[in-house]
Amino acid sequence: MSPEIGQRLGPYEILGKLGGGGMGLVFRAWDGRLHREVAVKLLHNDYKMPGMRERFLQEARTASGLSHPNICTIFDIGERDGDPYLVMELMEGETLKDKIARKALSAEEIVRYSQEVADALTMAHGKGIVHRDIKPANIFLVNKSNGSRQAKVLDFGLAKINLEKHGGWASRSLDLTVAGSTVGTLAYMSPEQARGEALDARSDLFSLGVVMYEMATRQVPFRGTTSALLFVQLLERDPEPVRSWNESIPRELERLILRCLLKDKRERFQTAEQLREALEKIAEKLGKGGWLKRGAGAVPLVPAPEPTARPRGPMRRDSGEYAALSDGSGSSSGDIVIRPLRLPARTAAMATESGGMPVPSDDGTRLWKVGASNSSQGMADADSGTVLAEERVAVTAKSQSGVIQTKVRVDETHVEQVEVEEQVAPELSGSGGRIILKVALAAVVIAAVVVGAFLLVRSGRFRPAVLSPDEALLLTVVQNKTNDSMLDGAVLEGLEIELRQSQALKVRGGDAYQAGARQIEAEDGEAAANVSARKVAQMTGAKAYLYGEVRGGGTEPYVISVDVLSTESNDKLASVAETADTPAEIPAAIGKLARAMRAEMGEATGTIEETSVSLENEATVNIAALHAYALGETAMRQGRTADALMAYQQAVGLDARFAQAQMQLAWLYREEKAEVAAASAASLAQDAARQASDSVRRLAEFSYEMNTSGDYGRAATSIRQYAELYPNDSEGMVGLARVLRAEGHFVEALLAAQQAYGEDPYRADAYREAELAMIGLDRSDDALHLESQSQRLGVASGGSSLAAAYLAGKDDIVAVEARALHRGEATSYGRLVDYGLYLDNTEQMVAGAAVWKTTGGLPDTTGTRAYMLAQGALDRALAESCGEALTMVRETKELASGPIASFNAGMASALCGDRVYAEKMMTDLLQSYPQNTAVMEYYVPDMEAAVALGVKDPAGALNALTRVEQYDQVSLTPYLRGLAHVGIDKGPLAVADFQTVLAHRGADFVLGSDVYPMAKIALARVSAVGASAAVDPETVPVR
């Protein structure tokens, strides 16, 4: 509970609330002992979790030991009813974030403030403290008595607590990112911080470089519509030159900033002291007015948004947890600015000064501050989205007779005038008649605005949104009260497909509903089938839920009625109904129902018309196909892969142009190693989606590039565009994780997957991608932890537990998984492949061969048998069991094979001396898959190298591998290169190659081979013949 004015916290009397931020509330207080004003920060209620109090106090004590003029001083630490608080110096001024929001800073200001921050960091780093969250909101510009300002750094040592905030349902999803997650504000993170690595002082210097870049340009150097896209920019792209945004920045200062932003921390300034000294040199040149200053323009050439532009929604402010003192007051977040329809002849003016006095703008216009002057309301909690005092701007638009600005507050039923601002034109001042004219003119404008807004509301083209973009709508149940079983699930599935066309709604479908019901069943013992829809909505954190029914049939028309209800109060928020005379008319009724629901939820009529696509073009109008698709979705949520496969196959059998069903089949076939079937389904999906919505077309294109052409570059471009266009759809991040993992970019893949399940905590494929990326990064323990947590959320298993447990050395988990698979309890070919790889990697080759030759009772799909046999053949060829390997290869020759199976069979042949068949496979791959990234970049070169090794030509092998070193982590290249180096008596180079394999054990397993133990053996052989006396093969663990 927040303290009230006059209440005491120990010796401190609360005078008023200053503001708040992500972690705490800040109050102005009086210290009666020392007769001074101070700032008191209280921990947010959301942070009051087990162990948080101790963490807060520990970090506060660490920060209180920092005494420096450029660090906000912590005076005291106390407790109130067991809740800790900090007492800090009270500062007047603004954050650097506020200053940047108005304009770019001059070179002199950038250098001065950066020197002061570097001074603070020098002191902190000297005590072993890394800030981890340097950003403009954590740098306060304090007003000094001489009119200048001094930078002070806020919140030393407190940033890392942010990972553990949130209580209630949010913690169920948030804690899933803790394993391998990152700390800090995304846009200001260093590359090593984004990767979750250990940090040192150089990470803070990178963040300060980002701040300097932003001071100069008003842009951060790495941007993205989602955190995963931002991380891709951060980890892979160089920032644009500072001077391309702002030519007034001296080149020497630009070079300094860009050095701070280098990806490799070894190439940056190594200490804050080094950075400060470099800044001092630039400051000296600026102060002397030499060449450094002569090139600076009077006005920074910074491309920036139109200064009168205003955000469409409520403005949020991240000013850190210390708010600037202000005499102004906060305006309502419900206020909007309506400008005259005629555009001004001159540039609009803007002023952001606090207080109620007139403020001159750049063109001489005099503006008056809007709002009351009650300073106690001048600060608002940043978390609430309310506009803070410093953010209010007076925006004017000119006509020939002056400037008029009208603010109105709009709600569901009326438009209320709040305030009118006016500018007195020079030629009208002092005239009573002209004052009357002005008042009349203002009244006309106000009346026009009121009438226009009223007509908008009455026409239905303007409705207040029922849910904000961040508030989820959970689709629960549409009960089938007819005698037609084909409607079971079909109506709700059709509704979900249609509603997902809206970007105004955050729709959560069957994945979330089934997971929430399973959570309740696990926690309360209540059968999932009996759980109320509202209770599931509460469990999943949805703001509202959709519930409906379909009645009629026979001689009666079908009536589909749907309600949206508030999760909190169960009040009805929207209600729509549609009728259909026959089953064939039901799809059209579903489309009308979805469009009506979008309108009822407040979406603009024009947007609905522009984005709505009928079920006929978007998916299917075949009710039986929709029913089969719904069965497939349910089976997938329950981990019944074989049943899901059969249901999706039935759906496309009923309607081959059902794009969503074809895409689901393509991805499921891919996981089931049915390469040929996956390619075919993806091609059909792309063809079927030609008349569908933009989002479906783009997803179908991505599926085609991944599963048919195999062009990872085009796939990555396609899905990145999708993620930018549809940032609230986790589908984009799941797809990005898939292609990044295929390319061997496991760090970026993990970040994308984390973004996906952060957006939608109930997506099983997001967790699977994250787990596979973790395994590829040799973080198998984290993968197991994530698997366990996702299952507690009610999400079906990702199927990677055997691989993760084996690589993590969890023999108890391995034993349980292996026994089940040995008994023939495999639920998918994906699990069967992991079992075969486990057996081969642990030298159980006979048992492994049995797995590769069996179907495990699973349905045989086109390409799966060839994949299984070819994988077994490659493992045996690597283990030099060539007789059995070539026997398996012969069995694949009559089977339909995809690129992976063809490569594995060809590679096994090459390693075992069958040069003719290996070369045939190379030719087939080049002809059949000319766009396939793996084929063209490393499959064929690796096979060429293996053929050369087979004919005792190690030099030829090395020549074939010269251009593929960049694919070491996703190919057999380093192992083959090691064999070639052994062949030319380059033992030390061979050792390095084999150690490259051993350094990526998880990636080797994800790649799919027993190359790790073979590299282990090869390394031991090199050591045994004395090629490298320094090598001890026992230093690499074997399991």
Q: Strand pairing of 472-480 and 544-553?
A: parallel
Question: Which H or E run includes 476?
Answer: strand 472-480
SS (H, E, C) 321-365: ECCCCCCCCCCCCCEEEECCCCCCCCCCCEECCCCCCCEECCCCC
Q: Strand pairing of 394-395 and 139-143?
A: unpaired
Cα–Cα distances in Å, from 990 out to 247, 501, 943? 51, 55, 19
619 in helix, strand or coil?
A: coil
Give burial (CB, 10 Å; 0-12/13-18/19+) of 867. Answer: buried
- Write phi, then psi, for 350 (nearest 5 degrees): -140, 140
Report how far apart the first and last C-alpha atoms of the chain are (Å, whole number).
54
Angle at 155 between CA 150 and CA 161, to 5 degrees: 165
Query: Per-residue b/e over 384-423, b at no fewer than 16 CB within 10 Å?
Result: eebbbbbbbbbbbbbeeebbbbbbbebeeeebeebebbbb
| Distance, C-alpha 159 to centroid of its chain | 20
Taking the C-alpha atoms of residue 257 and residue 280, their distance in angstroms, rounded to an integer, is 14
Task: Find out whether 41 is annotated in a ligand binding site.
Answer: yes
**Of 1014, 521, 933, whose CA–CA distance to 715 is shortest?**
933
Question: What does the DSSP assignment read for 678-731?
Answer: HHHHHHHHHHHGGGS-HHHHHHHHHHHIIIII--HHHHHHHHHHHHHH-TT-HH
- Write phi, then psi, for 863 (nearest 5 degrees): 105, -20
Sorted by sequence, the CB contacts under 8 Å of residue 692 that are 6+ apart come out as 613, 617, 618, 619, 659, 700
Taking the C-alpha atoms of residue 742 and residue 715, their distance in angstroms, rounded to an integer, is 11
Give burial (CB, 10 Å; 0-12/13-18/19+) of 584. Answer: exposed
Total residue count of the chain as it appears in this document: 1039
- Which position has the token pair 């006979």? 846
Sorted by sequence, the CB contacts under 8 Å of residue 377 that are 6+ apart come out as 329, 330
- Tell which phi-psi region holds residue 81, choosing left (phi > 0), alpha (psi between -120 and 50) or beta: left
HSE value, Cβ hemisphere, 13 Å, CA-based, for 973:
20
Which residues carry a binding-site annotation? 41
Which residues carry a binding-site annotation for ATP? 41
